[in-house]
Amino acid sequence: MKIFQNLNFVLVETSHPGNIGACARAMNSMGICNLSLVNPKEFPSKESEARAKSGRKVLDQANIHDNLNEAINTSNLVIGTSARSRSMPWPMMEINNLGKVINESLVRKEKVSIVFGNEAVGLDNEDLGKCDFHLQIPTSEDSSLNLSHAVQIVAHEIYKGSSSSDLSTQTREVELASSQQKEKLIEHIELVLELLDFYDHQNPKQVPARLRRLIKRMQLDKLEIGILRGILSNLEERLNK
């Protein structure tokens, strides 16, 4: 579907090639064609092709990446799926709101990525930290779903939301910042904080993790990123004198 041309499903370190094919089939059934694979254990594969069936075209145009940053760099909105809660809760996306939020972003020509982790362990904290929101699919008992089942549920929610008459078509004054721009801002903040010797040396990881969560939650646009980077550059220059 044309509305989904800026929608990207990302599978991180998928261990079984058959699951890649099953995910491609699930995506294709909902009109979603953009698939990115981050360090798949085995791809391409005859088993992937066999499991994909009508989704073979999704496999044929899949992009391979060495790391998650490469796969989501240009995305304005990144949602990570994981059944596990974290000790530091990440901004949550409710499944009931997923279709509306994503389709409104797509109508505004924003780029959206949905990230799915490895079958055995899901997304690690570092990869989830690169996402703007954390999505958990509600279940009755066992919270861990088969990878292709999770992809199918998410794809269906997005497809269902694409036909809603309740979608806002209001454009943003300034385009949302890309994932890469947000990562560069976070790196710049950390650099300046090091120059200020701001970190608690007893627990140096606490501040960066919370700063990352704050930046992701704010959903900054490109102009706001530019203003903050300008302030940081000025401060950095003064500190280095």
Q: Domain-by-domain residue ranges, the chain?
A: 2-162, 179-239
* pLDDT digit string, tens, across residues 129-162: 999 999 999 988 767 789 999 999 999 999 999 9
Q: Is 74 helix (H, G, I), strand (E, B) or coil?
A: coil
pLDDT for residue 195 is more than 70:
yes
Evaluated on CA atoms 29, 33, 36, 41, the torsion sign reads positive
Helices H, strands E: what count in the chain?
10, 7
Is-same-fold flag (2-162; 179-239)? Answer: no
Average pLDDT, the chain: 93
* Cα–Cα distance for residue pair 109/112, rounded to 1 Å: 9
Residues 44-77: tens digit of each pLDDT: 999 999 999 999 999 999 999 999 999 999 999 9
pTM of the model: 0.93
Contact 102, 133 (CB under 8 A): no
Architecture of domain 179-239: Orthogonal Bundle (1.10)
Per CATH, is 2-162 categorized as 3.40.50.2300? Answer: no
Give the residue-averaged pLDDT of 177-194. Answer: 96
